[in-house]
């Protein structure tokens, strides 16, 4: 532990027996952080804040929510109308889910662009993918709780996917539902799981942070920290930078909550669930649309389910699929181009997921799905054999101090 | 070598964020554009970030609801007491509520009727969905409490629907009990045209054209769907101003803290 000196005798007494203050001093105050992080490194702390916001608003909502098919819809409307500032809590929670996903998706693409998943940070990345998976499960079950039309039909469509599993599929679906259709027992268990999973996420986030602090953050040029000249203490440099980032984030978030609270929702979810009436288009929440597009791109039901889960599963093994030892895209000219193609591909999949599964949309979905898997399964392992990477700088300090692009900093050094 | 001016980096960051956001929002817009029927976009007093409800229009809208819609459509999520928010006083609300009756238990445990009180929810015209369907030739008149939020572009849609009854084209066959409405998905609707010239007599002397009545009832229903809207927008402006000040201050604090590192 660090040799932190505390003046307060109570703090001293406690810290001698339980070194919690030394721990915080070490991990939050002195924690050495690369000095060249850009704003894309703000999204990790933003995701953490989004998670805490969701948990706090969620606990308050659960105090006023009734998990029963006859009362769920009305209890949510009671929160909106009669609970003091209930509308604010619910709109924060509802939009918070979308913003949580926006932040986490940016965080993930940051990791992909700068090669943050590479050795020695493989487990850090894997824990992150696990968090994404848990978030998706939590968000899916949370969307069922208001018991609107999209809640009900979304739950029906997604749980039915498991019926594609050979032999035991139908039994698994019945087991998931706790009955023979999406009904009260389904709503009850989804509420229970929606409440508990965020705390599982907190646990995995703690592991994610432990793994992060083992080697520290990656950085935009992706080379290892060589010594103290390459780092800054987390506080005050990154606490203030994170605060500024949080201010920008909260301003945009507040604009959505206060002025466009239903923009990212679906109008049909303000109609109470009715098992006798199927909506014209059953569309999942926007953050699931790329995966929904992959599901529908495959003509076979089981195949679609496998590809959909495969699109997440492939993320777990990325650290071993990418054979290049160079982390940052800044020094990988071809990889960089394909990164933007992948991003465009994912946005396209999201768009296609919202479109009806017919005509040109099906063909485009298949092409986009094929590219998604091509990118990770073929391009990642083979590219290092073709690509000529740019020379890496000697250390982080050089390009940061000179302020020029890393490659020219290197050239500058060589000329001397 | 001179460090890149900071505003350039900020500019780049803003451009990048805008690109990502616009990609995201454009995908949302495309997905709303799937509808084939387009309806006129009106300039509502409650649209925009500072928009508020027009009390006089809302009160006329309540009158239209009461005299025209309430025969078939309920508003079960609204309580009579909520009408205070659109400018009625306690006595008016009490009188309004007492025109309806609700079931209750007396001391002997028998079901009896009593006058509705301000604390009661709006009494629905039918006891249940089945009764509503039987009375309306199989069609179910939806509850209107949330109708504006439950339809895409709800206010414009409702106004268009209420004024969208036109003569059907010759090739269109109209089944019994159905009506032609150019704005309804599928064009055939179970609801007969509800609004006619001077269908209601407005207390404030406003001319009761179908268009005026449609606007007024939409204003009333928009409030019923989002009774918190005025509070929400007012609070939103304060919150955003606070956050802007916080963000600007933290930006300059950050600049100051980082200055020795950047200029070393």
**Which residues have a Cβ under 8 Å from the Cβ of A307 and sit 6 or more positions away?**
A294, A295, A297, A298, A369, A373
Burial class (CB in 10 A: 0-12, 13-18, 19+), B110: exposed
Which residue in chain A has the smallest CA separation from B257?
A237
Mean per-residue pLDDT, A23-52: 96
Q: List phi, psi (to 5°) of B179.
A: -135, 155
User: Which residue in chain A is spatially nearest to B250 when comparing CA positions?
Assistant: A244
Higher pLDDT, A403 or A206: A206
CATH class of A41-282: mainly alpha
**pLDDT band at A410, cuts 50/70/90?**
very low
pLDDT at A203 over 80: yes
Nearest CA among A390, A393, A415 for reference residue A403: A393
| Block residue for tokens 């993320």 | A315
Set A15, A25, A230, A242: catalytic member = A242
Choose among A320, A298, A331, A334: nearest CA to A381. Answer: A320
CB contact under 8 A, A237 and B233: no
pLDDT at A401: 45
Backbone angles phi, psi at A265, to 5 degrees: -90, -175
State the Cα–Cα distance between residues A216 and A213, nearest whole angstrom: 5
Would you call A261 and B4 a contact, using CB atoms and an 8 Å cutoff? Answer: no
Residue A272 is given by DSSP the state: B
Indicate the helix (H) or strand (E) that contains A33: strand A32-34
Q: Which chain A residues touch B10 with a CB distance below 8 Å?
A: none
The predicted model gives A153-164 an average pLDDT of: 94
Of A230, A272, A285, A345, catalytic: A285
Tell me the nearest-neighbour CA distance from A309 into chain B, angstroms: 23
User: How would residue A182 be classed by pLDDT, with cut points 50, 70 and 90?
Assistant: very high
Q: Which residues in chain A touch residue B246, judged by CB atoms under 8 angstroms apart?
A: 247
Cα separation, A165 vs B100, whole angstroms:
55
Question: Which residues on chain A are in Cβ contact (under 8 Å) with B251?
Answer: 244, 247
Q: What whole-number distance in Å separates Cα of residue B149 and Cα of residue B163?
A: 19
Rg (CA), chain B: 26
List of long-range contacts for B179-184, beta carbons under 8 Å, 24+ apart: B182/B37, B183/B37, B183/B39, B183/B157
Residue B198's nearest CA partner among B84, B67, B85 is B67
For an interface test with A, the pick among B31, B32, B224, B260 (most A C-beta atoms closer than 10 Å) comes out as B31
Using a CB-CB cut-off of 8 Å, the residues of chain A touching B237 are 258
- The shares of helix, strand and coil residues in chain B, as percent rounded to the nearest 5, are 45, 5, 45
As a whole number, mean pLDDT of residues A44-56 equals 98
The arithmetic mean of pLDDT across residues A166-177, rounded, is 95
Q: Which residues have a Cβ under 8 Å from the Cβ of B173 and sit 6 or more positions away? A: none
Task: Round to whole Å and give the CA distance between A29 and A21.
Answer: 10
Report the residue of B46, B130, B152, B239 to disrupt the A interface, i.e. the one with the largest count of A CBs within 10 Å. B239
Q: A405: left (phi > 0), else alpha (psi -120 to 50), else beta?
A: beta
Nearest CA in chain B to A403: B3
Q: Select from B28, B233, B253 the Cβ nearest to the Cβ of A259.
A: B233
Reported as a single tens digit per residue, the pLDDT across A282-304 is 999 999 999 999 999 999 999 99
pTM above 0.80, yes or no: yes
Q: What pLDDT does residue B153 have?
A: 93
Three-class SS state of A273: coil
What six digits make up the tokens of A382?
């083979």
**A113, A240, A359, A412: which to substitute to probe chain B, counting the most B Cβ within 10 Å?**
A240
What residue ranges of chain A are covered by domains with CATH 1.20.810.10? Answer: 41-282
Which of A35, A17, A15, A37 shows the shortest CA–CA distance to A26?
Answer: A15
Which pLDDT band, with edges at 50, 70 and 90, does A403 fall under?
A: very low
Pick the catalytic residue: A26, A35, A68, A213?
A213
Rounded to a whole number of angstroms, the distance from the CA of B133 to the nearest CA of chain A is 14
Contact A264, A65 (CB under 8 A): no
A312-327 pLDDT per residue, tens: 999 999 999 999 999 9
- Search chain A and give the residue with CA nearest B146: A270
Place of tokens 């009390």: B55
The whole-number pLDDT of residue B29 equals 45
Residue pLDDT tens, chain B, 264 long:
445 555 555 556 556 555 555 555 554 444 444 446 888 999 999 999 999 999 999 999 999 999 999 999 999 999 999 999 999 999 999 999 999 999 999 999 999 999 999 999 999 999 999 999 999 988 899 999 999 999 999 999 999 999 999 998 888 888 888 999 999 988 999 999 999 999 999 999 999 999 999 999 999 999 999 999 999 999 999 999 999 999 999 999 999 999 999 887
User: Residue B112: enclosing H or E segment and its boundaries?
Assistant: strand B111-115
Q: What is the pLDDT of residue A412?
A: 39
């Amino acid at each position: 532990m660090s040799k932190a000196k505390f003046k307060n005798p109570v703090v001293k007494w406690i810290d001698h027996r339980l070194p919690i203050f030394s721990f915080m001093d070490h991990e939050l105050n002195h924690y050495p952080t690369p000095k060249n992080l850009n704003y894309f490194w703000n999204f990790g702390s933003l995701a953490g804040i989004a998670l805490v916001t969701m948990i706090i608003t969620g606990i308050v909502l659960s105090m006023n929510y009734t998990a029963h098919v006859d009362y769920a819809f009305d209890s949510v409307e009671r929160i909106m109308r009669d609970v003091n500032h209930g509308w604010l809590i619910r709109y924060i929670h509802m939009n918070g889910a979308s913003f949580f996903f926006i932040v986490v998706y940016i965080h993930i693409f940051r990791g992909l662009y700068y090669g943050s998943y590479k050795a020695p940070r493989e487990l850090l990345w894997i824990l992150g993918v696990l968090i994404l998976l848990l978030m998706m499960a939590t968000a899916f079950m949370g969307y069922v709780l208001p018991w609107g039309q999209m809640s009900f039909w979304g739950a029906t469509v997604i749980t039915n996917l498991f019926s594609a599993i050979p032999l035991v599929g139908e039994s698994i679906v019945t087991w998931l539902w706790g009955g023979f259709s999406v009904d009260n027992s389904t709503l009850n268990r989804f509420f229970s799981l929606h409440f508990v999973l965020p705390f599982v996420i907190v646990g995995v986030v703690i592991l994610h942070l432990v793994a992060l602090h083992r080697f520290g953050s990656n950085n935009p040029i992706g080379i290892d920290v060589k010594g103290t000249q390459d780092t800054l203490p987390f506080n005050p440099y990154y606490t203030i930078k994170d605060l500024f980032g949080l201010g920008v984030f909260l301003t945009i978030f507040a604009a959505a909550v206060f002025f466009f609270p239903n923009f990212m929702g679906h109008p049909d979810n303000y109609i109470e669930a009715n098992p006798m009436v199927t909506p014209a288009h059953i569309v999942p929440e926007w953050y699931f649309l790329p995966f929904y597009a992959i599901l529908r791109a495959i003509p076979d039901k089981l195949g679609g389910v496998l590809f959909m889960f495969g699109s997440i599963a492939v993320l777990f093994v990325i650290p071993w699929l990418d054979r290049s030892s160079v982390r940052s895209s800044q020094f990988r000219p071809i990889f960089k181009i394909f990164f933007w193609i992948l991003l465009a591909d994912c946005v396209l999949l999201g768009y296609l997921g919202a479109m009806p599964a017919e005509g040109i949309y099906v063909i485009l979905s298949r092409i986009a799905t094929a590219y998604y898997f091509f990118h990770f399964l073929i391009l990642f392992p083979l590219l290092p054999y073709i690509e000529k990477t740019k020379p890496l700088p000697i250390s982080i300090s050089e390009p940061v101090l000179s302020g020029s692009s890393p490659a020219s900093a290197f050239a500058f050094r060589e000329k001397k | 070598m001179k460090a890149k001016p900071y505003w350039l980096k900020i500019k780049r960051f803003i451009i990048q964020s805008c690109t990502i956001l616009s990609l995201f929002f454009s995908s949302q817009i495309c997905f709303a554009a799937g509808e084939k029927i387009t309806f006129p976009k009106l300039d509502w007093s409650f649209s925009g970030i500072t928009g508020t409800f027009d009390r006089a229009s809302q009160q006329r809208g309540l009158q239209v609801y009461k005299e025209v819609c309430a025969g078939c459509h309920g508003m079960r999520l609204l309580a009579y007491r909520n009408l205070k928010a659109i400018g009625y006083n306690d006595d008016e609300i009490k009188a309004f509520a007492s025109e309806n009756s609700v079931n209750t238990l007396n001391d002997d445990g028998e079901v009896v009727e009593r006058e509705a009180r301000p604390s009661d929810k709006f009494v629905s015209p039918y006891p249940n969905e089945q009764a509503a369907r039987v009375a309306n030739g199989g069609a179910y008149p939806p509850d209107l409490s949330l109708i504006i939020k439950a339809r895409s572009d709800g206010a414009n849609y409702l106004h268009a629907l209420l004024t969208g009854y036109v003569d059907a084209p010759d090739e269109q066959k109209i089944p019994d009990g159905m009506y032609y409405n150019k704005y309804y998905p599928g064009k055939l609707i179970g609801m007969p045209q509800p609004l006619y010239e001077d269908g209601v007599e407005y207390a404030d002397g406003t001319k009761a054209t179908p268009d005026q009545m449609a606007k007024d009832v939409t204003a009333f229903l928009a409030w019923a769907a989002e009774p918190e809207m005025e509070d929400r927008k007012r609070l939103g402006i304060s919150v955003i101003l606070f956050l802007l000040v916080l963000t600007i201050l933290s930006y300059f604090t950050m600049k100051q803290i980082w200055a020795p590192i950047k200029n070393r």
